[in-house]
Amino acid sequence: MVHEKTDRIIGCPKGIANGDAIGKQTEMLSREDVLRRYPHGIRGFEGPPGSIIPRYVGNSKREWLIGETTDDTERTIAVARAILRDGHVSHLGVGREMRGCTKCVHPGVKSLWEFHQASDPARVATEHDGCGAAVRVAPVGILYSSGRLDELVNGAREASISTHGGTLAIAAAAATAAAVSAAIDSASSEEVLAIAVDAAGEAERRWPGRVDTSLAKAIRDAHADLRQVPALQPGDIAARVFPNQPTTIVPLALALATLMRSAEAAILLAANIGGDSDSVASITGGILGAMYPWTVNEEWSRVVEAVNDHGLIALATELAQVRH
């Protein structure tokens, strides 16, 4: 049982990093643009690992590489390191670790830019509802078992508020952390969905904001909508739940994670949808990597490790030892 749980914990960050790197190839493209650039669809890494993704050649912000992970994985690792150093989740500890992150730190990503400009690890953001918090909270779900909903929700908020203080962002982070935790505890897909919705709802009750949209409801609705589809296809999903806003990105990721049975297949599906594809692919990849660790594509993981040198297996093994 302990060995199986460790396998699930290792499968989670590997799924996150794989999804992040595969999904980056189509990030912010429409479904139509995905097909124009990749007529056969995304089937893995579309080019030599370590070479520049064609559409990023000459990009003034960053020439992203095939196999490179984004700030999603970089800040997931920062949260993990903060937990391992402090033994718990605190926004100060997370802020300290995230000060060393460098990816996507520019005015175009306001949540991250404001944090780094403030140069204060104790800073608490009061706005921003994007998914930047949800993509990094998996270590919170690894730390706390799924029966500890209060700690999962509080921990998700602590891991979020350095950059994201909006209600939707915190609710999305709570839902993601809870889903990861339940997946590690061998919960069924239905149970993973239920605890994600409960965590989102609890976060919305504790920290209500000015928005009149419920993330918990958006998660339920996305799952109910896609459950009716006979076969999950990128074109159909893009027409129903295109991931380009807070009320669709994490809800889509959680729907795919609870309707599918393969991290590899879900990552490819997310990449072929477009939109915020790296976020969707990393979140759903992390959850399914924990639920079904044998479905994590090991060749992709070898490429990701070769390009990024993350040391994910060692990091996950350390996290497994502090889970409670």
> Which two three-digit tokens encode residue 119?
């140069």
pLDDT of 93 reads: 98
Instruction: Tell me the mean pLDDT per 10 residues along the chain, length 324.
Output: 85 98 98 98 98 97 98 98 98 98 96 96 96 98 98 98 97 98 98 98 94 93 96 97 98 98 98 98 98 98 98 97 97
pLDDT of 173 reads: 98
Which of these, 206, 82, 189, 188, lies nearest to 151 by C-alpha position? 206
Residue 52 three-state SS: strand
Tell me the longest C-alpha to C-alpha distance in the chain: 50
pLDDT of 210 reads: 80
Where is 83: in which H helix or E strand?
A: helix 71-86
pLDDT of 3 reads: 61
Taking the C-alpha atoms of residue 65 and residue 56, their distance in angstroms, rounded to an integer, is: 8
Which of these, 164, 163, 114, 159, lies nearest to 138 by C-alpha position? 159
pLDDT of 209 reads: 85
pTM for the complete prediction?
A: 0.98
pLDDT of 2 reads: 60
Residue pair 285/24 in contact (Cβ under 8 Å)? The answer is no
Taking the C-alpha atoms of residue 219 and residue 253, their distance in angstroms, rounded to an integer, is: 9
pLDDT of 211 reads: 77
